[in-house]
Structures are given as C-alpha cells and as structure tokens.
Amino acid sequence: MPPKLTEMQGRDYDVVVIGAGINGTSAARELALAGYDVLLVDRLDFASGASSRSSRILHCGLRYFETPNPVRAFAFHPLRLAGAVRMARAGMEARAELVALAPERCRPLTMCFPVYPESQVRDWHLDLGFRILRRLGPPEPPLAYRRLTRNFGEHLPFASDLRDMERLRSIATYREYIMDWPDRLCVD
C-alpha cells in the first residue's frame, strides 16, 4: 500500500517525478539507482495510462528509417538521417536491455513484411535497413532477418492468405519481442 500524503509531509526529496507510466518509472528507477531520494507520483495508478495501452512490441528501430524515398530524404536532410540513426541505436539497445533484464516477460515474435511491385518500400530498402540495424545494436538478441523471394508457403504457413500471391515479390521476416504485461515493468 502506498504511503499516505501525511506520512510524506516534511520529508525532503532530491527529485519528484510526476507521472508513473513507463517513462516516469524508468526515470525514477535510474535516479534512485544513482543515489537520489526520489518521490514518484501519479494522478491514478502506476501504468494506468498510455503505458497500459501500448502495442506491447519492443521495436528494433526500423521505423525510424521509414520515409518516402529514403535516399533522397536522407541525402537532402542529413540531420534527419543522424536523428534516425540515433533513435534506431537507442531502440536496439533498449530492446536488448529489456530482453536481458526480463526474459520471462519477452516473447519472440516473427514479424513479416510483404513487398509488392507497387510498394513504396523496396527489397533493398529492407536489406539496407536491417544491415544498418545489425551494425548499430548489440548482437544479442539477434534480429534473425531474412528475405524470402520464393516458396513462401514452405516457410510461412499463412503466406497463402496474402493478397495477390502471384504479384508478391518478397516477404521480409525478422524477430521482434512482445511484452507480456509491460505495465508490470512499472510496478516491479
């Protein structure tokens, strides 16, 4: 049971963190580990807001490279590329840290990305994006990236359910992790 406000009256804290979602609890944890006396407060319950309604997927950081015509966009806006690289590295590091710290809460999930001739994302975009991610992040847990170009049904049982199978150029697969009860991270 949390302490009553009257029990905290007159006590000094080095830091007060307002908001006990995943970001607030993470900040409070890091500050406490650094030796600060921390008070964490929230209007409602811990992780009762956006943290309890997320997709629960630990993203590897690929999404930070998503942009229409990435070669042109990043060539004309190198700061945007630098920001994407920084965020992707942080995503890979956070993914590795969470899988290492709470393996019982992280289940591997194979993500699939079908590529058709009219897709804005090309095969080589995915190949390059995952090559960059492998260089940016720690080797564990692996991304397990591969791009299938034929015999889709042999590798992916649901492939026959995809639209326009005869036009499908490739299917990129990679490993993400889905969190079981991510709101528990805030409480634990």
Specify burial of residue 159 (Cβ count, 10 A radius: 0-12, 13-18, 19+): middle
Res 157 pLDDT > 70: yes
pLDDT digits 0-9 by tens, 46-92? 777 765 667 778 889 999 988 777 888 888 999 999 999 999 999 99
Nearest to 187 by CA among 55, 42, 90: 42
The predicted pLDDT at position 52 comes to 62
Instruction: Categorise residue 144: left if φ over 0, alpha if ψ from -120 to 50, beta otherwise.
Output: left
DSSP SS3 for 101: helix
Q: What is the pTM of this model?
A: 0.75
> How high is the mean pLDDT of the chain?
87
The predicted pLDDT at position 180 comes to 77
Angstrom distance (rounded) from CA 103 to CA 117 = 38
To the nearest whole percent, how much of the chain has pLDDT over 70?
A: 93
pLDDT digits 0-9 by tens, 112-152? 999 999 998 899 999 999 999 999 999 999 999 999 998 88
The predicted pLDDT at position 186 comes to 67
